Amino acid sequence: MSKFPELAAVALAVALAGPAAAQSFDLGRPATEAEVAAWDIDIRPDGMGLPEGSGDVWTGEELYVDLCASCHGDFGEARGRWPVLAGGDGTLTDDRPVKTIGSYWPYLSTVWDYVHRAMPFGQAQMLTDDEVYAITAYLLYLNYIVEDDFTLSHENFTEVRLPNEENFFLDDRAEAELAAFSDEVCMTDCKDAVEITARAAVVDVTPDDAAARERREAAAAGADAGVTETDAAEEVVEAAAEEPAVDPQLVADGEKAFAKCRACHQVGEGAKNRSGPHLNGVIGRLAGSIEGFRYSRAFQEAHDEGLTWTEETLAEFLAKPRTYIKGTKMSFAGFRQDEDIDAVIAYLSTFE
């Protein structure tokens, strides 16, 4: 018997009375239209729920630098353990895929909705609709989905497709998996033999094949012409020695412009590889040749084809990395001013 007969009687009465009994407590009230609107902010893949507005890439860059870069990095590469937003092309089949807007996310509405609903961290929903459009446009730009003159708006929103969209599909577990697992379950002697194919979380722990790398470098350096990689590098150095000294002011300007690169690359004494390789001695160096750095497939192919970093090739790359080496994982979209490119190259030339 219950220790609280009065409460038991009330509970029984409520249970017998059904849904209508809730009205007798006189709790709560219907939500107002304004309260419902404050929560009803989701955006669907077909554009339903999008507010009117627009924002361009470069406005988005300014907002991103002020509000987002402290966590997500200057170019979406992330700082510390904050999420990476750009790059990751071709990594979804790796043991540790890099899941970003460009490599994994399904719909642009997912990006817009998340920025609108939850960002900036600690100040959620402070952005205007136009600011959300602008930041979303810049994130598309960082992921090589649009060009730098792009403006995103409610009118062209549904025309933008993310690269991985086709790999998402409607949940069919009710028809597929549920039927398979509804059959009688095997509990013993289900297989003739068991084979262990991998261990631990990461399978790819094989060291770099130094001999194979040396063979690739020799072939790429022009074996047919009898020119080795060392010979080619020496020729570049000798040619540079014949040229006049680099303008100190140009070097100083390059140091300032290089600030956009420091998030990923180091130069100078003690420089180490970070999310990008160090750039000491980059002038005259074969692309993708820093030992111990794991290059993207695109850079490995450039390496095998014999691409060498000269002032000319660097200038073309720094202007539009995604065009010069298609498939590069480098998030930086390129310098807009030729003066900045010349200055950065002059600055890099001072590090051997």
Backbone angles phi, psi at 140, to 5 degrees: -65, -40
Write phi, then psi, for 110 (nearest 5 degrees).
-65, -40
Q: Check residue 196 and give its pLDDT.
A: 79
How does DSSP classify residue 191? Answer: S
d(CA 1, CA 11) in angstroms, rounded, equals 14
Q: Residue 280 and residue 289: Cα distance in Å, rounded?
A: 12
The whole-number pLDDT of residue 89 equals: 84
Tokens read off for 91: 């990594």
Q: Which CATH superfamily is domain 1-187 in?
A: Cytochrome c-like domain (1.10.760.10)
Q: How far apart are CA 35 and CA 193, in angstroms?
A: 61
Contact 55, 135 (CB under 8 A): yes
- For residue 7, the model assigns a pLDDT of 46
Interatomic CA distance for residues 293 and 212, integer angstroms: 15
Task: Give the model's pLDDT for residue 240.
Answer: 46
> How many of the other CB atoms lie within 10 Å of CB of 74?
21
**How many whole angstroms separate alpha carbon 110 and alpha carbon 239?**
52
pLDDT of residue 236: 46
Specify the pLDDT at position 18: 52
**How far is residue 154 CA from its own chain's centroid?**
24
**So what's the pLDDT on residue 296?**
77
Helix (H) or strand (E) holding 54: strand 54-56
d(CA 170, CA 78): 31
Return the domain boundaries, the chain: 1-187, 210-348
Q: Is-same-fold flag (1-187; 210-348)? A: yes
How many other C-beta atoms can be found within 10 angstroms of the C-beta atom of residue 57? Answer: 24
**Of 288, 255, 294, the residue nearest 275 (C-alpha):** 294
Q: Are 42 and 240 spatial neighbours (Cβ–Cβ below 8 Å)?
A: no
* Check whether domain 210-348 has CATH 1.20.1530.20, yes or no: no
pLDDT of amino acid 1: 42
The per-residue pLDDT for range 52-69, each reduced to its tens digit, is 999 999 999 999 999 999
Structural tokens at position 174: 């009710």
Low-confidence ranges of the chain (pLDDT < 70): 1-24, 198-245, 329, 331
